[in-house]
Amino acid sequence: MSKISTSLRLLKTRWAALVHDVIMIPVAWMLAYWIRYKIGEYPDHLLERALDLLPLVVLIQGSTFIYFGLYRGIWRFASLPDLSRIVRAVVVSTAMAAVVIFFLTRLEYVPRSVFIIDAIVLILLLGGTRLSYRLIKDHSLAKEAAERVLVVGAGSAGEGLVRDLLRMRPAVYAPVAFVDDDPAKQGQEIHGIRVVSNIESISSVAGQWDADLIMLALPSASSDQMRRIVEICEMSGLPFRTLPKLQSLVSGKVSINEIREVQIEDLLGRAPVMLDRTEIVNRLKDKTVLVTGGGGSIGSELCRQISKVDIQRLIVLDQSEYNLYSIEKELQQSLPDLQLSCELGDVCDLAGLEYLFKTYQPDVVFHAAAYKHVPMLEDKIRVAVRNNVIGSWNVASLADKYNCSDFVMVSTDKAVNPGNIMGATKRVAEIICQTMDERSTTRFITTRFGNVLGSAGSVVPLFRKQIQKGGPVTVTDKNISRYFMTISEACRLILQTTVMGNGGEIFVLDMGEPVKVLYLAEQMIRLSGKIPGEDIKIEFTGLRPGEKLHEELFHSDEDLTDTSHEKVMLAMSRKTDWPTLVKSMGEFQQAVDEFNMKELKKLICKLVPEMTQQHVSKKVEGDNAA
C-alpha cells in the first residue's frame, strides 16, 4: 500500500508541474509581445494574431517539455541538471514553434524577436519557480529541529562539508556561519553562508549566531593548531566534531559521513611522514614478507601497509587466535587478491618456526612479537626472557639460516638505560640483531620508538575506559612524561628504515617532544565533554615497579647522528662479540628451563650492565626462593 500511495503522490506532483508549465507558456508568449513593444500597448491586429497562434505554441512547447523529461525531476531537489534540461527544452521547443509558424504564416504580423524574448522569459518562469520552491522548502525544513552549526575552516573541506549539510534530508544540521583565519575569506559567502570572523572569535560568534554545534573542517591542520582550536572550542562550552586528518581522507573528498569526535590522536600526532615510497616498493616488490606478532597493534598495522605493496606473499604469525583471525578477515576483505598465509604459532617454538621458514622461505622479516607491559613483566622475568630474548634469538637465527635479505626488529625507548625487565629484554634483543649482523648476509636493522597511541595495553585505552565509567582517571605521577606517536606513523617509519643503512644500525624514530601523561588525561576528559577534577577526578597512584619518570630515546654513550630522513636518527650502540652472545643464549635457555629467576637476573645485568641491581623487582628474589 505504501508503494501505491507513494506512486499516486508522485503522479499528482508531476501533473501539477505539467499544469504549471502549460500555464507559463501563454504567460511567456504574451509577455514576449508586451516586452517587444517596449512594455506598452501594441496594435490590436498583433494581439489578435498572438492569440490565434497561442494554442499551437502551447501544443508544441508542452509536448517538447514532456519529451525532454521535465517532469522526472522533483522540484524539492531542483538543481543545475534540471535547469540545463529546461534550457534545452525551451530552446528546442521555441525553434520548432518558429519553424512551424513560419511555414504557416511566413511570420506575417509575428516579430522575429518575439521568439527570442519568449524563450528567455519562459526559462526564467520555469527555472525561477522551481528554484524558489526549493529555497522556500529548504528554509522551512532548516527550521525543523535542525542543529545550528558553526563551521571552522572556509577552505575546500569546509565548502564540501556545508554542501553536504545543506543537502541532508531530513535537515539534521543547519550551517549558520564560517570562521577562518584567512583575512581574504572573511566577509565572503560560501553556499550562502558568510565567513564572519577569525577562529579566535569562536565563542562570541557561536553566541551571536545561536550555534548548537561546532564542526572543524581543517583536515590539514597540524596537531599544534588542533590543540589551539580545541582549547578555543572548549571555552565556548559547545560540543564540537571534526573531519579526520587529510591522510585519512583517501578519496580526497570530504563528507558529513566523515565527521567524528575529536580524538586524542588529533592533538598529539604530528605532520604526515613523507616516505621514500619508490624505494620501499622496490625493496619489497615480489618478496615474501613475514610479520611476527602480526595480530598485535604494531604488527597488524605493518601488515596493512605492507599489503599495499606488490609483494609476492604476506605471512602473518601470531600466538593469539583472536588477533590472527581479526587481521586475516580484515586483509581478505580489503585485499581479496593478496597471497596471504596466517600462521597460529609462537616465536618460542623453534621447531614450529623452522617449519614455517622452510615452507615459505621468507625474504624479509618484521619482528614485532614481544611482551611489552612494563609492570606486569617486572615479576615475570622468565616469560619476559623466554619471549623477548629467546624468541628474538630464534627468529633472527632462522632469518640468517634461510638467507633472508632483511630482518627488521621493532624495539622501544624502554631499552635505553632500562629501568625494568621489559626494557632490559628488548635491549638484549637489540644486541642480538647488532651482533648477528656482523656475521650474516642478512641485513639486521632495529627501530626504536616510544609509546604508540591507542596500542593494546597503552594508557589511551585505559583512560577511555576509566572516563566511560565516570572516573577516576589514574595517573602514576603528576610529572611523568612519555613520547607518543600514532600507530600508522610508527609503521611508516619502520618501513622507511628497510631502505636505509647497511645493517647493524639502531634507527631512532623522531618522537618530537615528550608529553606529560597528566596533560593527556586532562585532554581526554575534556574531549569527552567533562571537566577534569570536577566531573572526572584524577588520582595519582605513584610510580609502578620498573616505571621511570621520563623515558629516553638513546643512551648517553650512543653516537646519535642524522640520516637521509628527517624523522629518523641513527644510534650506534656498543656490540657484543659472537661467542659471548652464543654462550649467553645457552645460559638464558637453561635458566628458563630450570625456572632459575636469580640466574636470569644475573644474565640480563651481564649483557646490559646499565640495568643495575636496583632496577630489578625485589619480588624476583622471593619468586626464586619459592
Q: pLDDT (tens digit, 9 = 90+) per residue, 286-340? A: 999 999 999 998 999 999 999 988 899 999 999 999 999 999 999 999 999 899 9
Q: What is the pLDDT of residue 163?
A: 84
Checking if the pLDDT of 264 tops 70, the result is: no
Catalytic residue (choose from 414, 426, 567, 601): 414
| Residue 167 scores a pLDDT above 50 | yes
For residues 134 and 175, membership in a common domain is answered with no
Are 400 and 471 contained in the same domain? Answer: yes
Greatest mean pLDDT among 135-149, 197-211, 223-237 lies in: 197-211
User: Averaging pLDDT over each range in 201-205, 241-245, 480-484, 616-620, which range is the top one?
Assistant: 201-205
Within a domain: 620: no
Average pLDDT for residues 67-82, to the nearest whole number? 62
* pLDDT (0 to 100) of residue 262: 67
Q: Are residues 588 and 524 in the same domain?
A: yes
3-class DSSP state of 79: coil
Is the domain of 327 the same as that of 412?
yes
Q: State yes or no: pLDDT of 282 exceeds 80.
A: yes
Does residue 621 sit within a domain? no
Secondary structure tally for the chain: helices H, strands E:
22, 22
Q: Which of 8-17, 465-474, 612-621 has the lowest mean pLDDT?
A: 612-621
154 and 130 part of one domain = no
286: Cβ contacts below 8 Å, ≥ 6 apart: 310, 311, 312
| pLDDT band (50, 70, 90) for residue 121 | confident
Q: Check which CATH number belongs to the domain holding 493 and give it.
A: 3.40.50.720
Average pLDDT over residues 77-91: 74
Pair 443, 559 in one domain: yes
pLDDT greater at residue 438 or residue 142: 438
Strand 213-216 relative to strand 451-453: parallel, antiparallel, unpaired? unpaired
Q: What is the pLDDT of residue 2?
A: 40
Distances (CA, A) of 404 to 99, 290, 357, 366, 400: 82, 10, 10, 11, 6
Q: Are residues 418 and 466 in the same domain?
A: yes
- What does pTM read for this prediction? 0.63
Kindly tell me if the per-residue pLDDT of 145 is higher than 80. no
Average model confidence (pLDDT) across the chain: 80
Q: What gap in Å lies between CA 271 and CA 624, rounded to an integer?
A: 48
Query: What is the pLDDT at residue 613?
Result: 44
Which of 69-83, 299-313, 388-402 has maximum average pLDDT? 388-402
Indicate if 28 and 43 belong to the same structural domain.
yes
Higher-confidence residue of 125 and 436: namely: 436
Sign of CA dihedral 424, 425, 426, 429: positive
- Examine the pLDDT at 249 and tell me if it is beyond 70: no
Residue where a domain terminates, one of 228, 262, 296: 262
Q: Is residue 585 within 8 Å of 607, Cβ to Cβ?
A: no
Predicted confidence (pLDDT) per residue in 25-36, tens digit:
888 888 888 887
In a domain, residue 269? The reply is no
Q: At 456, is the pLDDT very low, low, confident or very high (cuts 50, 70, 90)? A: low
- Three cell numbers written together for 29: 508568449
Domain count, the chain: 3
pLDDT of residue 595: 94
Residues 493, 354: one domain? Answer: yes
**CA 407 to chain CA mean position, Å:** 29
Residue at 453 is within a domain: yes
pLDDT over 90 for what percent of the chain?
25
Check residue 289 and give left, alpha or beta (phi > 0: left; psi -120 to 50: alpha): beta
For the segment 402-420, the average pLDDT, to the nearest whole number, is: 88
Distance CA 510, CA 448 (A): 9
Question: Can you tell me whether residue 172 is helix, strand or coil?
Answer: coil
Residue 191 pLDDT grade (very low, low, confident, very high; cuts 50, 70, 90):
confident
* Of the ranges 363-367, 449-453, 493-497, 545-549, the best mean pLDDT one: 363-367
Domain's final residue, options 118, 140, 162 = 140
Same domain? 422 vs 530: yes
pLDDT band with cut points at 50, 70 and 90 for residue 493: confident
| pLDDT attached to residue 93 | 85
Average pLDDT over residues 348-373: 94
Asked if pLDDT for residue 560 goes beyond 70, the answer is no
Q: Hey, what amino acid is at 447?
A: T
Question: Both 349 and 245 in a single domain?
Answer: no
Q: Which of 226-240, 271-285, 428-442 has the highest mean pLDDT?
A: 428-442
Average of pLDDT values for 406-434? Answer: 89
In a domain, 406, yes or no: yes
Which pLDDT band, with edges at 50, 70 and 90, does 136 fall under? low
DSSP tag of 563: -
User: Is 437 domain-assigned?
Assistant: yes
Domain stop point among 90, 112, 140: 140
**560 & 599 share domain:** yes
Sign of CA dihedral 460, 329, 308, 257: negative
Residue 541: which domain range?
Answer: 277-615
Note whether residue 626 is domain-resident: no
**CB 390, CB 585: distance < 8 Å:** yes
The answer to whether position 296 is within a domain reads yes
Question: Is residue 414 annotated as a catalytic residue, yes or no?
Answer: yes
